[in-house]
Amino acid sequence: MPPTTFPFRLDVPATHVPVEPGGKLILRGSFHSSHDGSIVDAATTTWPSGTPGGAGVDTGGLIDFEGGGFHVVSRAPNTHEVHVVATDGPAPACDIQRVTAPCLPIRAHHQAHSRLITVKEWTSSLKGGMQVEVVAPPAYAPVTTLASTMKPVLIGSGVVVAAVAALAVAWVGYRRWSRSAKVELQRLAKRVRDKASQADPILAGPLTPALESAMKAIEQRKVDPSSEEGKRVVAVLRRVDAKLDEKAAAAKADDERRAADELVSEVEIALEAAGEAAQYGPR
């Protein structure tokens, strides 16, 4: 299946993209805001030197990829080219907009609110364009390769059936692994960490290091998702996830600071309990 390309639309809250898990999107282009001079692409915002915070690049762009069921593979603020891969994980932003997953949900509400203007004013200030290229996942070809290289006498129904059975077993194993408690916990922690990195600096500053520690503990298997302590980490991360969604809509600086302290404390306490449980064994 050859790649297909279509223009990205600002007037649609979320756009469904017909791509299977493993399929790749390449987004090229950017928009220039006449409101504050910022340059926004799919995954980054470049601020000019005249802005209050000075020149710089933020990782938050026009699209909420994690909420749409995609994982960002690479971003290039200079060339404004972003590569993402479709996952088979949850896509809450698509659910909210009642759009089939995976999709490309626009972060216009969050960006407009942070600038104290309406969504219409924000999107109207954007001049430019982006193109979305859909690249289908590579076809799995072991059976075809085997059939084309082996001698005809060895290519029979038994070989084909065995190959298909092996593929089926491998696929079932992969599905079980991808939905295991550990993988779900890793996805949850990564989603929360990515959301925190795009949140208000007052909230993201103290929260991001705690979430990085959580990711490291999970990767080093210091947290057992099936244990009571592991379940507590999951519950805390879900509360943090929900709180970040609330804060993304509207929150004042004082509320952000208090919420950050509470969330950091909960994450650290949960990780400490999980670490102690891993050190002394199951209860």
pLDDT at 146: 47
The tens-digit pLDDT sequence of the chain (283 residues) is 566 899 999 999 999 999 999 999 999 999 999 999 999 999 999 998 877 777 888 888 999 999 999 999 999 999 999 999 999 999 999 999 999 999 999 999 999 998 899 999 999 999 999 999 999 776 654 444 444 455 554 455 565 556 666 776 666 666 665 567 777 777 888 888 888 887 777 777 788 888 888 878 887 777 777 777 777 888 888 888 888 877 776 666 666 777 778 888 888 888 888 877 777 665 5
Give buried/exposed letters for 162-198 (b at 16+ CB in 10 A, else e).
eeeeeeeeeeeeeeeeeeeebeebbbbbbbbbbbbeb
pLDDT at 85: 96
Sign of CA dihedral 111, 114, 119, 120: negative
Reading the block at residue 124, the tokens are 């109207």
Length of the chain equals 283
Phi, psi of 75, rounded to the nearest 5 degrees: -140, 145
pLDDT at 74: 95
pLDDT at 126: 95
pLDDT at 279: 72
Q: How many CB atoms lie within 10 A of CB 99?
A: 20
Measured between alpha carbons, how far is 181 from 176 in angstroms, rounded to an integer?
10
Closest residue by Cα to residue 140 from 171, 179, 177: 171
Give, rounded to a whole angstrom, the gap between the first and last alpha carbons of the chain.
53
